[in-house]
Structure 1
Amino acid sequence: MDGDAEWWRDAAVLQIYPRSFADADGDGVGDLDGVTARLPYLAALGVDAVWLTPFQRSPQADHGYDVSDYCDVDPLFGDLGALDRLLGLAHDLGLRVIVDLVPNHCSSAHPLFAAALAAGPGSSERARFHFAPGRGPDGAEPPNNWPSVFGGPAWTRVPDGEWYLHLFAPEQPDWNWRDPRTPAFFDAILRFWFGRGCDGVRIDVAHGLFKAPGLPDLSPADLAAATPGRLRAVPPACDQEEVHALYRRWRELADSYHPGRALIGEVNLDPDRAARYTRPDELHQAFAFGFLAAPWDAAAWRDVGEELLAARVPGGGAVTWVVENHDVVRTPTRYAPGGAARARAALLAVLGLPGGAYLYQGQELGLPEVDVPEAARQDPAWARSRHSRDGCRVPIPWRRDPAGTHGFSPDSGAPPWLPVPEGWGAFSVEAAEAAEAAEADPAPTLHLCRAAVALRRRLHAESVLGADDDVAWEVDDDGRLTARRGRFAVVVAMGDQAVPLPDGDVLLASAPLDAGRLPADSAAWVRARM
């Protein structure tokens, strides 16, 4: 696909969770042909690329993040032909496609792990993973005190008495990246997807591949901080120096293609550590997670923004902003009260900051978190830690139908894999487009998103904005946050009152202005006059 070789620096990307996006075959689970059928919608949204979470072969113990064959499509989602159709139409529409790579761990059903179990202690097969004898009487205690991100210990014992490491679920054994066979194995996987036409990979747990030699215990302080869901709190299990040589190797591989392929890392570390992964010869991008944890507070957002931008490496990757993904509570619920308005403002804010912006499917519709009934929850973290991510993964509503699947599946199809709540059709694409046609005020979130992405692209094309712009952050006593990029400013009213706007032309706002003032819980883009 032709175009800007560094498209990723200021790209707007939409994350697609395939099992919840669109179901073409009627089995109640989204699939690749469903994504392909909806690509014109994504092109109309104006995004530069889509990121597909895992669709490779998997027993689905963690909804695809437990891979049993890295170079094939799981029949649940289609086949390699379905992926080729998706890539072909996406490229015809000017959309790039990023696929998920899961190199920290695989499925316990992976043939290499099955061989390791069969081979026994001390074998070369087990050296591909982290097997170790236990501690205590008869080795009945785990080899160290590491917790799983999903809750409970990060070790499972096998019948011959050894234990294996899994930072996530027991069905997800960690690869041993100190074994020289592992890098070569994944080099071939990257070549497979890049050669098939994928434009980049998002690297799951990119900071977690190498573990500290000897797998030492966590300190008491780190152990106390290692709550479920926080891999960043276990330094011996992640952020080892050797990972940087691996990413330099992968960068050379990615750059050997024409056009080059993009490497995007999930690096859940403090900004100064995460930025090291985006040095000029390593990853192109790493997600900026600070806003995922920040409360709706102007000072907190200023502090996060300043820290993320200050950590940028000269000549390295631009900041990649995100406030929603498939692992966190959706913003209309997370920012309550006033969550729906605040979510619109946050969407406009991250699209107005320098660098890349990753949106999550349904964010452009303002979808709230769903309280999925306990009996219907499928997230493996729920059983281990009582923490469920199912609420942000409920299938997308495409139609307003008062019942049924709201266009997610064919009308004659099976029920969606997660139940949709009553009234879900009010958030549908059809409802948003009807409100847009009726010129509703305020405009639906879908209209706001389309307008923001289009304007963002135009301002970059006109060199008004750049991916590496410096930002001057200001917080006023009335709760107003201002992020200035030269003549362009993002203003967010994060207090409980309307606030004045800087002098200039209001290019876009998430809510109608009130006598020229920006209402509480809203955002605007302002361009100073010459």
Structure 2
Amino acid sequence: MSTTFYLTDDANWWRQALVYQIYPRSFCDANGDGIGDLVGITSKVPYLKNLGVDAIWLSPFYPSALKDGGYDVADFRDVDPKIGTLAEFDDMMTACKAANIKVIVDIVPNHSSDDHVWFQAALKAGKGSPERERYIFRDGLGPNKDQPPTDWECMFGGSTWEPVGDGQYYLHLFDSSQPDFNWSNREVRDDFLKTLRFWGDRGVSGFRVDVANGCTKDLSGDLPNQAALIEMMKQMLAGTLPEDTHPYFDRNDVFDVYKEWRGVFNEYNPPLTAVAEAWVASHRKPLYASPHGLGQSFSFDMLMAPFDPVLFRNIISESLEDAKASGSSTTWVFSNHDVIRHATRHALDNDGGFYETTRKYLINKGQNPVADVSLGLRRATAATMMILALPGSAYIYQGEELGLPEVHDMPDSQRQDPTFFRRPGYEVGRDGCRVCIPWEAEGKNMGFGPNAEPHLVQPAVYKKYAVDIEDKDPNSTLNLYRKALALRHELQCAEELEWVPSSEEVIHFKRPNGWEIIVNFGETPVAVPTGRKVALSSDDLVNDAVPQYTAAWLLP
């Protein structure tokens, strides 16, 4: 039952780490301006240490106009003045190191902000200039060049092409404030190597790579129209699209980029690590997780699946096989800054999984689509205990340890997500999972900050989820997470799993050291096996049996 398997082997710390995602602007506001900041994060390092995390992942904290929650980066090697300074970043790093918490930072290689000095230079320099070669500019169509080069729609709605007034358009797969880099340009590649070293030299342990499957592109030849592109996307995710067919997603030359990055990672001792945000077919994940490239890739299959034991079991088996194929480890996640919190997602009355949940959630805008809040939390904590017991690393998102629900009914005037504005009447956006953390039920702004109202105001219901309330309740979600993370450290062992025969409504597996996990999805309670003791459960047992929507960790 030793923790030495992964904690003392520093080069492999990431393989079974527990990583806590921080969305900085909504975590803690120390200076009282309504925006979370680095000093606020530093002040909460004792909380994070007590929670039991191995590392934190910081969503973008770089200078930004906040047209896409900070993912519109104006300078990749600085801190947004609204969030802090480089000196305050260093102070945060020092506090984290003292607490034995590693730091992973977001890196956004697909695009910059339109405020970036390179893009502003490109606009001024004009057609055919070296400055424009850093991005993807194309001539418009038609006699007046006033039609976009293709009919493609961007991920946030509207055209992927934005005119600049001289007959040319620039490509943006996301918001128009986020022009895509041209990764065929050596200057772009070299600048990102400089960025990796900049943060590596400041002590970060690795990077979460945004849109890792989207950097390299091939826009030569005849390009598909939007309808064909949608079909390509379906085939790509299903694993039936021939390689290098899609013009801008999951192209093989992206691995040349990450091979170079690995060279930089290996300059450090221990080597830096990275995890890819890559929405790709299962058989492609090992390529992103290669030890010659990024090293890990998120497994989003669990996040996208409905609350179903058969699907979960299949996803676990396939993900472990993917990790084995790459020599990496799995990376489990249920919630993040882009999706409906899973305490709410698993409470919605449908069986359609992530996409169906999202669709119904949007249709019910302005109403309460949650069938049963307590049911959602019960399912969510059971599912979380399941992934915490699996081989590999696990990521949790700020506030999920409190059981925070999605905020679905905020006024439109408060919304910030570009998807809300680019798809009016259809999308409500991702602001509902980014609402500021409640630290003190009766404190100013629920303890988030001492003065100005938070940039995303907490609803009154968040008071009962406040840290100071849950801290005092031994049966709170917060204290369940604390117990689970502490026990996970004690029980962590080799990255292997053995399935225990069970009914379809039960997930039951063992780890090599005898750690045994039961998750019951069915109505019939599952008896604890003879000779096993319950070390922790997500809900109370009934007559020594695991009831429905409950996970139990067992020991000899």
User: What TM-score results when the alignment is normalised by the length of structure 1?
Assistant: 0.92
Q: Is the 8 A contact 1:100 1:203 kept in 2?
A: yes
**In structure 1, C-alpha distance between the alignment counterparts of 2:168 and 2:527, rounded to whole Å:** 65
CA deviations over 1:141-186 (Å, ceiling 9, x no partner): 3212332111122111111121110010000000000111111010
Query: Would the alpha carbon gap of residues 3 and 76 (structure 1) be closer, same or farther in structure 2, given more than 3 Å must change?
Result: farther
Count of paired positions: 511
Counterpart among 155, 160, 165 of residue 159 in structure 1 = 165
Whether 2:309 is the aligned partner of 1:309: answer no
AA aligned to 1:512 is D
After superposition, residues 191-230 of structure 1 pair within 5 angstroms as 191-214=197-220, 216-217=223-224, 220=227, 222-223=229-230
Counterpart among 165, 174, 177 of residue 180 in structure 2 = 174
After superposition, residues 192-271 of structure 1 pair within 5 angstroms as 192-214=198-220, 216-217=223-224, 220=227, 222-223=229-230, 235-271=246-282
**In structure 2, C-alpha distance between the alignment counterparts of 1:225 and 1:445, rounded to whole Å:** 42
Counterpart among 46, 53, 73 of residue 59 in structure 2 = 53
Counterpart among 371, 378, 381 of residue 416 in structure 2 = 378
Whether 2:109 is the aligned partner of 1:100: answer no
1:471 to partner: Cα distance:
4.5
Who is 2:465 aligned against? Answer: 427
Q: Is the 8 A contact 2:152 2:226 kept in 1?
A: no
1:122 to partner: Cα distance:
1.4
Instruction: Give the secondary structure class of the aligned counterpart of 2:77.
Output: strand
1:64 to partner: Cα distance:
1.0
AA aligned to 1:391 is G
**In structure 2, C-alpha distance between the alignment counterparts of 1:33 and 1:284, rounded to whole Å:** 31
Instruction: Give the secondary structure class of the aligned counterpart of 1:263.
Output: strand
Who is 2:447 aligned against? Answer: 407
Counterpart among 508, 513, 531 of residue 482 in structure 1 = 508
AA aligned to 1:450 is R
Who is 1:452 aligned against? Answer: 484
Runs (5+) with no aligned partner, structure 2 = 1-6, 348-371
CA deviations over 1:65-104 (Å, ceiling 9, x no partner): 0111111100010100110100001001111011111110
Who is 1:34 aligned against? Answer: 40
Bigger shift: residues 60-69 or 306-315: 306-315
Who is 1:500 aligned against? Answer: 527
Instruction: Give the secondary structure class of the aligned counterpart of 1:448.
Output: helix
Who is 1:440 aligned against? Answer: none
Who is 2:388 aligned against? Answer: 351
Instruction: Give the secondary structure class of the aligned counterpart of 2:261.
Output: helix
Who is 1:360 aligned against? Answer: 397
Q: Is the 8 A contact 2:278 2:285 kept in 1?
A: yes
After superposition, residues 279-294 of structure 1 pair within 5 angstroms as 279-294=290-305
1:333 to partner: Cα distance:
0.7
AA aligned to 2:390 is L
After superposition, residues 382-401 of structure 1 pair within 5 angstroms as 382-385=420-423, 386-401=427-442
Whether 2:31 is the aligned partner of 1:25: answer yes
CA deviations over 1:254-306 (Å, ceiling 9, x no partner): 11112221112111112211221112211121111111111011111112212
Q: Is the 8 A contact 2:491 2:515 kept in 1?
A: no
AA aligned to 2:283 is D
Who is 1:72 aligned against? Answer: 78
Who is 1:11 aligned against? Answer: 17
**In structure 2, C-alpha distance between the alignment counterparts of 1:101 and 1:390, rounded to whole Å:** 21
Who is 1:91 aligned against? Answer: 97
1:134 to partner: Cα distance:
2.1
Q: Is the 8 A contact 1:218 1:236 kept in 2?
A: no
CA deviations over 1:500-529 (Å, ceiling 9, x no partner): 3444222211001011111111111223x3
CA deviations over 1:291-336 (Å, ceiling 9, x no partner): 1111011111112212211222446210000001000001111001
CA deviations over 1:174-218 (Å, ceiling 9, x no partner): 000011111101000011000011111111111110012427225
AA aligned to 1:62 is D
Instruction: Give the secondary structure class of the aligned counterpart of 1:264.
Output: strand
CA deviations over 1:106-135 (Å, ceiling 9, x no partner): 000101011111111111111111111123
AA aligned to 1:518 is V
Query: Would the alpha carbon gap of residues 497 and 375 (structure 1) be closer, same or farther in structure 2, given more than 3 Å must change?
Result: farther
AA aligned to 1:444 is S
Q: Is the 8 A contact 2:541 2:547 kept in 1?
A: yes
Q: Is the 8 A contact 1:298 1:475 kept in 2?
A: no
Who is 1:518 aligned against? Answer: 546
Counterpart among 114, 120, 124 of residue 126 in structure 2 = 120
Q: Is the 8 A contact 1:302 1:474 kept in 2?
A: no
Bigger shift: residues 6-15 or 129-138: 129-138
Instruction: Give the secondary structure class of the aligned counterpart of 2:257.
Output: helix
Query: Would the alpha carbon gap of residues 133 and 497 (structure 1) be closer, same or farther in structure 2, given more than 3 Å must change?
Result: farther
Instruction: Give the secondary structure class of the aligned counterpart of 1:13.
Output: strand
CA deviations over 1:363-418 (Å, ceiling 9, x no partner): 111110012222211111111132410001000001111x74110001xx000101
Q: Is the 8 A contact 2:520 2:526 kept in 1?
A: yes
- Please tell me the root mean square deviation across aligned C-alpha atoms, in Å: 2.2
Bigger shift: residues 76-85 or 248-257: 248-257
**In structure 2, C-alpha distance between the alignment counterparts of 1:500 and 1:46, rounded to whole Å:** 30
AA aligned to 1:257 is Y
Bigger shift: residues 70-79 or 376-385: 376-385
**In structure 1, C-alpha distance between the alignment counterparts of 2:119 and 2:541, rounded to whole Å:** 59
Instruction: Give the secondary structure class of the aligned counterpart of 2:211.
Output: coil
1:56 to partner: Cα distance:
0.8
Query: Would the alpha carbon gap of residues 421 and 493 (structure 1) be closer, same or farther in structure 2, given more than 3 Å must change?
Result: same
Instruction: Give the secondary structure class of the aligned counterpart of 2:536.
Output: strand
AA aligned to 1:409 is G
Q: Percent identity?
A: 41
1:2 to partner: Cα distance:
8.5
CA deviations over 1:33-54 (Å, ceiling 9, x no partner): 0000000000111110001110
Bigger shift: residues 303-312 or 105-114: 303-312
Instruction: Give the secondary structure class of the aligned counterpart of 2:395.
Output: strand
AA aligned to 1:46 is G
Runs (5+) with no aligned partner, structure 1 = 437-442
Instruction: Give the secondary structure class of the aligned counterpart of 1:354.
Output: coil
Who is 1:439 aligned against? Answer: none
